[in-house]
Structure 1
Amino acid sequence: MDYSKHHHHDHNVESEVKTNVMYNDGKVFVDLEDDNGTPPELAIQHEKEMHFIIVSNDLEEYYHLHPEKVQQGSYSVNQALNNGTYQAFVDIAPENKVYQIEPNTLQVGTNETSKANLEGKDNWTKVRNGKTVTLDAVDAIVGEEVPLVFDTHGEKPDPHLGALGHVVIVDEDVEQYIHVHPASDDTPTFNAHFSKPGMYKIWSEFKFGDKVHVYPFIIEVKE
Structure 2
Amino acid sequence: MNTAIKLGGFGAGLAAVFTAALGLGSAFPVSTPATPTPAAHSDPTGTEPARNTAAAQPPAGLQISQDGYRLTLLNSSLPAGVPQPFRFQITGPDERPVTDYVTSHDKDLHLIVVRRDLSGFQHLHPQRAADGTWSTSLTVPAAGQYRIFADFQPAGHEGLTLGADVPAAGDYQPTPLPATARTVTVDGYTVTLTVDLTPGGSSPLTLSVSKAGRLATDLQPYLGAYGHLVVLRDGDLAYLHVHPDGSPGDGRTTAGPKIAFHTEVPSAGAYRLYLDFQHDGKVRTAEFTAVTATPDSALTPTSATPGPSRHGTDGHTHD
Report what 1:47 is aligned to: 106
TM-score (norm 1): 0.86
Identity of matched residues, %: 23
Deviations 1:1-48, CA, capped at 9 Å, x for gaps? x97267667563343311122355612112111122123321101100
Distance change >3 Å, CA 16–CA 111, structure 1 → 2: farther
- Coordinate RMSD, CA, aligned: 2.5
Is the partner of 1:103 in helix, strand or coil?
strand
Partner of 1:106: 166
Q: Which amino acid aligns with 1:86?
A: Y
Counterpart CA distance in 2 for 1:195 and 1:27 is 38
The structure 1 residue matched to 2:277, chosen from 203, 206, 210, is: 206
1:84 counterpart residue number: 144
Is 2:216 the partner of 1:155?
A: yes
Partner of 2:154: 94
Distance 1:209 1:172, change over 3 A: same
Q: Which protein has the larger Cα radius of gyration, Structure 1 or Structure 2?
A: 2
1:18: which partner in 2?
Answer: 70
Task: Indicate conservation of the 8 Å contact 2:16/2:263, yes or no.
Answer: no
Query: 174-183 or 100-109: which moved more?
Result: 100-109
Question: What amino acid does structure 2 have at the position aligned with 1:108?
Answer: A
1:178 partnered with 2:240: yes
* Residues 113 and 28 of structure 1, relative CA distance in 2, 3 Å threshold: farther
Distance 1:20 1:143, change over 3 A: farther
CA offsets 1:79-104 (integer angstroms, 9 cap, x no match): 12233211011010112235542431
8 Å contact from structure 2 (residues 232, 273) kept in 1? yes
Kindly tell me the number of residue pairs found equivalent between the two proteins. Answer: 219
Give me the TM-score of the superposition, normalised by structure 2.
Answer: 0.62
Q: Indicate which of 144, 152, 158 corresponds to 2:201.
A: 144
1:194–1:117 distance in 2 versus 1, CA, 3 Å: farther
For 2:111 and 2:283, locate their aligned partners in 1 and report how far apart those are by CA, in whole Å.
Answer: 16
The amino acid across from 2:67 in the alignment is: S
- The residue identity in structure 1 corresponding to 2:139 is A
* Structure 2 unaligned regions, length at least 5: 8-13, 19-36, 39-55, 58-65, 248-252, 295-319
| Alpha-carbon distance in 2 for matches of 1:220, 1:182 | 21
Match runs of 1:54-93 below 5 Å: 54-81=113-140, 82-93=142-153
User: Aligned equivalents of 1:124 and 1:171: distance in 2?
Assistant: 18
